[in-house]
Structure 1
Amino acid sequence: MATVHKGDIAASNDSFFKSNAYPDSMARKIGQYTVFLVDDSPDDRSLAVETLKRSPYIYNIHCFNSSEELAIHCSSGGGYSGNRVHFLPTIILLDIHMPKVSGMDLLLDLKKNPLTKDIPVVMLTNDASPETAEAAHRLGASACVLKPVRLDRIHEVICAGSAWHDNDKATHLQGLLAAIVESSDDAIISKSLDGVITSWNTSAERMFGYTSAEAVGKNISFIIPADRREEETHIVAQLREGKRVMHFETMRVGKDGRNVDISLTISPVRDAAGLVIGGSAIAQDIAGRRAVEAQLSRYMQALEKSNLALSEYAHTVSHDLKAPLRRVVQYCALLQEEVGDRLGADGTEYVARLVVQTTRLQQLVDDLLSYAQVLSAREERQELDLNKVMREITESLDCLIAENRAVIKIGDLPVARVYPLRIRQLFQNLMANAIKYHGQEDPAVAAECVDQDKYWLFSIRDNGMGVPEEYRATIFKAFERLYSEEEIGGSGLGLAICAKAVEMHGGRIWVESAPGGTGSIFFFTLQK
């Protein structure tokens, strides 16, 4: 049953705001329409309302007593005024003969207004002359109907207006899609299942050198190299099954004979019945990306050669430095043994200092070699049982553990894909530091691991001196030390080696310390 509204009109000085109340698009979607009826005759208006109320399609009927009332309402384009809703109709039924402003004058204004020009208007008249109907049509009326109103004529106009509206929307959408295709930076080509090109956008012209006139109607094979024709057979087979081909990297030939590296995404095109009738291909030029990849590959090869040369150089320098240093230590030992009693107190002290400094230099050379190995060593990741690795490391630290009466506790460690050399250097340095940097109490060191989805989280906990907050970031840099060599021996490279080893495994390393020198926890993650 249609709802009838009377006098639901806003004053001309009301403020209006855009409203979505009863939108025309929703009315069409559910098959129910809103009608504005304008007639100064109460009897004709009542008779028309009774007729319209019998329609299963009409949802709202709004009555206006004059052209002026409708003009005030429609000039706003719909909105709110006080507690009343103002909106635009699906169709307007407009009496021709009204005082002051006639229906013809109002029709002219409605068709000039962008907000109302597309609303179908049916002129209502008692005049059956052809001249009246022709005049109404010239001004833009959809129909001219004799009173009393016949429901079938109103339905005809509503259906005709809806069909025109839908066709207009489809035409607009088609034009919009065509504009998007033409403005795309990627080549967009459509073709039939037998390979005949049906569309070829501007970017395809630019990419391959052929104009649309040259390409449309030809088989797509004319841009496919002879040795890649089987690709098209595979693509068509995928399309026939309704499947998409995503990001397929291949090569095509331009008009000038050059090879064009492209990435293809091809989707099936279906008809109204859902049958696949062709394909739509989007081709992206990847020549720039390929050039960058080639340049990056050259840089990687050069870097690999440089790292290899650095590794070889480090081994050479290590050998050439360590041999003379060993001899200096040996000669010092001989000097003390052969003529130690004639050196006197000062001479004996000088020789002892020489031995200490030479030993430190040997340690520095060893650490520099380790650091170079971490940076440049060529090795593949392997599945290693880190429990076994840790046992081997604690065995190698036996003397240091015994000397410091250290207590070592190793939790359950995982089997992980790691770089063997780097992981041993990492554990070795962290465990040795935890033992060496102890406080008044005997060292207590605990190593544990927690599974964190994509990473392993390791922790090395000690009860040593701790790390002041201001040094927690810098201690992982090369040659950064918290204590002098006289206090605690070392080269300042141990934690730098650890940081590089962790970085090679795609993880990160950091330290946390409780205030007051009550120990530290070194955390690091290793990517699985």
Structure 2
Amino acid sequence: MENSRIVSLEKALKRERAARKQAENILEMKSLELYEINQKLKMSSRPKQAIKAVLSHTDINDAYVKIDMDGNFLAMNEAAVKVFGYDIMNEPVNAFDLIYRDDYSHVMAAFRGMVENGNNIDFVARAYSKNNPVKTIHVNAEAIYDDDNKPIAAEGFLWDITQESKMKELLAQQEEQLSIIVNNSSFGIVLSEGENIKRANQAFQDMVGYTHRELVNMDSNQLFRPEDIEDIDQARNSLKAGKKFIEFVHFIQKKDGSLIKTKINVTNVVSEDKRTNYRVSIIKDITEESRKQEIFEEQKKQLEIIVENSPLGISLADTNGFTKVNKAFCNLLGYSETELSKLSFKDITYPTDLTKSLELSQKMFEGQLDDFTVSKRYIKKKGGIINAKTHVSAVRDSKGDVKYIMGILEDITEQVKSEQFREQLLKQLKKSNNELHEYAHVVSHDLKSPLRNISAIVSWIREDCKEIINEKGNNNLVMIENTVEKMENLINGILTYSSISQGEEESIISIDETVRNIVKMLYVPDHVTITIQKTLPKIYGDQIRMQQLFQNLIGNAINYMDKKEGEIIINCEEEDDWWLISIQDNGIGIAKEYHEKIFGIFQSLNSEQNSESTGIGLSIVKKIVELYGGEISLTSEVGKGTTFYVKLKKLIA
């Protein structure tokens, strides 16, 4: 558009110059005629006859006027009447009164200079007319003298150049606007004649690093790489052959030697005689754009490689069916890409799984969903069935309508089989646990029954034989009673251990309240003090299980205390999403080789202080902690004491 505008303006300028030249020729010719007429006037003593002589020149088409020294019109031809709208044959008119007020001073100064110096004057001024408020007039005039060489009048030709002046003004405005556009364009703009640069805008100067002075008359070939000149010349030849414009992409070498990639549009500026005088080139720096396009193309290739080699089945479909599928998609279903192009998701979905997919797809087309995930079965080409987790996404156009549907299939057939097998195992395990729990109760009952009998027999023997039994026999009876009690505790421990995962009623419980109740319930010797340093947290769990856990730990700390001043400290700290509760004592301590062993069932320290230990307590503690996803650990030093750490999950807000 800019090129056509430049051409139009240049044509208008050439027409104006031609018209001006023609006017100057006419003026020169008419001045000669006026000179001859003036000579006649000088020889004539009768002004009226002189006027008739001038007006008799009917071949004078330009406006002619004569005024006296006061500005009164003495004569005007028909052309002058048309210019001003006044006819002095009908009404007197003063030329000075018609001068536009802003131009009055310089017009009168020119008039005085003509009279005083005898010069011919040529000027442009605005004048009022009868029918049109203001006109722009080009005046060429000279003074008329009498025999005493005294100025008596002035005469000359004038031309109404109002339209021409407006055109020049418009042309000047358009040239200014065009100059602003060119100089402020983000594109480089270059005017060249042949291969030589005549003008370049600021954007091009900034683009190549040369100043305007350095660019003017520079051979444009200097801006191209030598290996590109042949291609450039071919493009130029196509312009010379009559092509109106060309566009090509080439590198331009900057002043500092670096290269920029450019898109160049070259247009011929053709004169009226059909000759090409100039070329206008519009240059866009596409270095960054090209770099981004190269990155895009590379990423596109990489994406295609990823999609094609993805283990997931990937497809693109429209309302008519599949438009693109990758290799994995074909392998999953056993179809070729050509075969799938004639099918849709509906055709390959297992019938009983179709309803859910169609409902979700309908919501997506209605704009309620942009994507959804569903697990369903697909029918393979040879009739087999695969289970696939399918993620479906909508690709929408600018109006928000669904243009394509992208589907990603993950084969979960084996996973589904594993889950089904796992569910079956869980059912069997649950059944086995129930049976085991029932068995534990039966065994507990069956084992406790003879123990009770033994305990009863011992009581009878002690009662019936109290007169004949000696101290040794009495000690043996006590040993039997202690063994029976220990056996009963062992049976109770086994029953407790086997039922830890059974019948839990979980809720938010206070560990602080639970621990304080345990301390009140347990027998704490006078030489042992228990301190709870911080308020213990609340967690989600089973009240009975938490009581079993902390009762075992606190009870052990009391039972294994060997110091005269025993001290048990209970504390807690936060660790991210966990509570770390510690039970510290200054008891006998635990050797490092037993740190793991003591958590096993039927494992206990050989200690004279607690010979009644069943070895089940810490295994119960560990099982409860792990049941709630926590951890238990300890630090200990023999003779100095032990600290147990229980790590439990925080409540989720």
TM bin (shorter chain): 0.5 to 0.7
Q: Measure, in 1, the Cα distance between the counterparts of 2:297 and 2:310.
A: 20
Instruction: Name the counterpart of 1:525.
Output: 647
Task: Check 1:179–1:422 CA distance in 2 against 1; reply closer, same or farther (3 A cut).
Answer: same
Question: Shift of residue 190 of structure 1?
Answer: 1.5
Instruction: Name the counterpart of 2:347.
Output: 222
Residues 93 and 122 in structure 1, CA contact (< 8 A), matched pair in contact too: no
| 1:84-103 → structure 2 map (5 Å cutoff) | none
The CA RMSD measured in Å over matched residues stands at: 4.6
Could you list the per-position Cα deviations for residues 425-455 of structure 1 after superposition, in whole angstroms to 9, with x for gaps in the alignment? 2122112112111123254434444555533
Determine whether 1:290 maps to 2:400: no
Instruction: Name the counterpart of 2:389.
Output: 263
Residues 527 and 564 in structure 2, CA contact (< 8 A), matched pair in contact too: no
Instruction: Name the counterpart of 1:419.
Output: 542
| 1:407-486 → structure 2 map (5 Å cutoff) | 407-410=529-532, 412-450=535-573, 452=575, 454-484=577-607
Instruction: Name the counterpart of 2:7.
Output: none
Task: Check 1:364–1:244 CA distance in 2 against 1; reply closer, same or farther (3 A cut).
Answer: same
Instruction: Name the counterpart of 2:624.
Output: 501
Task: Check 1:329–1:198 CA distance in 2 against 1; reply closer, same or farther (3 A cut).
Answer: same
Residues 357 and 374 in structure 2, CA contact (< 8 A), matched pair in contact too: no
Instruction: Name the counterpart of 2:438.
Output: 312
Could you list the per-position Cα deviations for residues 191-216 of structure 1 after superposition, in whole angstroms to 9, with x for gaps in the alignment? 22x46332233322222233322332
Letter of the 1:199 partner, please give it. Answer: K
Moved more, 504-513 or 419-428: 419-428
Residues 590 and 638 in structure 2, CA contact (< 8 A), matched pair in contact too: no
Instruction: Name the counterpart of 1:337.
Output: 463
Moved more, 445-454 or 212-221: 445-454
Q: Measure, in 2, the Cα distance between the counterparts of 1:463 and 1:253.
A: 70
Higher-Rg member (1/2)? 2
Query: Aligned to 1:340, what secondary structure does the other structure show?
Result: coil
Residues 461 and 520 in structure 1, CA contact (< 8 A), matched pair in contact too: yes
Letter of the 2:321 partner, please give it. Answer: V
Residues 385 and 415 in structure 1, CA contact (< 8 A), matched pair in contact too: yes
Instruction: Name the counterpart of 1:8.
Output: none
Residues 560 and 610 in structure 2, CA contact (< 8 A), matched pair in contact too: no
Moved more, 278-287 or 204-213: 204-213
Task: Check 1:242–1:197 CA distance in 2 against 1; reply closer, same or farther (3 A cut).
Answer: farther
Residues 187 and 203 in structure 2, CA contact (< 8 A), matched pair in contact too: no
Q: Which has the higher contact order (CA 8 A, sep 6+)?
A: 1
Could you list the per-position Cα deviations for residues 283-316 of structure 1 after superposition, in whole angstroms to 9, with x for gaps in the alignment? 1111121112222222222222222222222222
Instruction: Name the counterpart of 1:197.
Output: 322
Residues 509 and 525 in structure 1, CA contact (< 8 A), matched pair in contact too: yes
Letter of the 2:617 partner, please give it. Answer: G
Q: Measure, in 2, the Cα distance between the counterparts of 1:202 and 1:124.
A: 46
Residues 252 and 262 in structure 1, CA contact (< 8 A), matched pair in contact too: yes
Equivalent of residue 59 in structure 1, options 198, 207, 212: 207
Question: Shift of residue 340 of structure 1?
Answer: 3.4
Residues 250 and 261 in structure 1, CA contact (< 8 A), matched pair in contact too: yes
Gaps in structure 1 of 5+ consecutive residues: 1-30, 34-43, 63-91, 96-102, 111-118, 132-139
Instruction: Name the counterpart of 1:365.
Output: 491
Determine whether 1:208 maps to 2:333: yes
Percent identical: 25
Question: Shift of residue 490 of structure 1?
Answer: 0.6
Q: Measure, in 2, the Cα distance between the counterparts of 1:221 and 1:182.
A: 23
Letter of the 2:403 partner, please give it. Answer: I
Question: Shift of residue 395 of structure 1?
Answer: 5.0
Instruction: Name the counterpart of 2:633.
Output: 510
Equivalent of residue 303 in structure 1, options 429, 432, 435: 429
Question: Shift of residue 417 of structure 1?
Answer: 1.8
Instruction: Name the counterpart of 2:478.
Output: 352
TM-score, with structure 2 as normaliser: 0.55
Instruction: Name the counterpart of 1:183.
Output: 309
Could you list the per-position Cα deviations for residues 12-46 of structure 1 after superposition, in whole angstroms to 9, with x for gaps in the alignment? xxxxxxxxxxxxxxxxxxx889xxxxxxxxxx99x
Determine whether 1:377 maps to 2:502: yes
Letter of the 2:331 partner, please give it. Answer: R
Moved more, 489-498 or 342-351: 342-351
Residues 350 and 376 in structure 2, CA contact (< 8 A), matched pair in contact too: no
Moved more, 292-301 or 163-172: 163-172
Instruction: Name the counterpart of 1:67.
Output: none
Residues 460 and 522 in structure 1, CA contact (< 8 A), matched pair in contact too: yes
Instruction: Name the counterpart of 2:214.
Output: none
Question: Shift of residue 508 of structure 1?
Answer: 0.8
Q: Measure, in 1, the Cα distance between the counterparts of 2:609 and 2:639.
A: 20
Task: Check 1:295–1:380 CA distance in 2 against 1; reply closer, same or farther (3 A cut).
Answer: farther
Could you list the per-position Cα deviations for residues 440-489 of structure 1 after superposition, in whole angstroms to 9, with x for gaps in the alignment? 32544344445555333322233322334443333222333333356543
Gaps in structure 2 of 5+ consecutive residues: 1-185, 189-193, 211-218, 242-249, 252-262, 269-276
| 1:163-178 → structure 2 map (5 Å cutoff) | 176-178=302-304
Instruction: Name the counterpart of 1:280.
Output: 406
Residues 377 and 387 in structure 2, CA contact (< 8 A), matched pair in contact too: yes
Question: Shift of residue 222 of structure 1?
Answer: 1.7
Letter of the 2:325 partner, please give it. Answer: W
Residues 479 and 492 in structure 1, CA contact (< 8 A), matched pair in contact too: yes
Could you list the per-position Cα deviations for residues 58-77 of structure 1 after superposition, in whole angstroms to 9, with x for gaps in the alignment? 62369xxxxxxxxxxxxxxx
Task: Check 1:424–1:176 CA distance in 2 against 1; reply closer, same or farther (3 A cut).
Answer: closer
Query: Aligned to 1:377, what secondary structure does the other structure show?
Result: coil
Letter of the 1:365 partner, please give it. Answer: I
Query: Aligned to 1:188, what secondary structure does the other structure show?
Result: strand
Query: Aligned to 1:122, what secondary structure does the other structure show?
Result: helix
Query: Aligned to 1:56, what secondary structure does the other structure show?
Result: helix
Instruction: Name the counterpart of 1:122.
Output: 232
Query: Aligned to 2:615, what secondary structure does the other structure show?
Result: coil
Residues 601 and 619 in structure 2, CA contact (< 8 A), matched pair in contact too: yes
Residues 559 and 610 in structure 2, CA contact (< 8 A), matched pair in contact too: no
Instruction: Name the counterpart of 1:113.
Output: none
Task: Check 1:523–1:169 CA distance in 2 against 1; reply closer, same or farther (3 A cut).
Answer: closer
Instruction: Name the counterpart of 2:109.
Output: none
Q: Measure, in 2, the Cα distance between the counterparts of 1:320 and 1:125.
A: 108
Q: Measure, in 1, the Cα distance between the counterparts of 2:571 and 2:451.
A: 39
Q: Measure, in 2, the Cα distance between the counterparts of 1:240 and 1:288.
A: 35
Question: Shift of residue 506 of structure 1?
Answer: 0.7
Task: Check 1:179–1:394 CA distance in 2 against 1; reply closer, same or farther (3 A cut).
Answer: closer
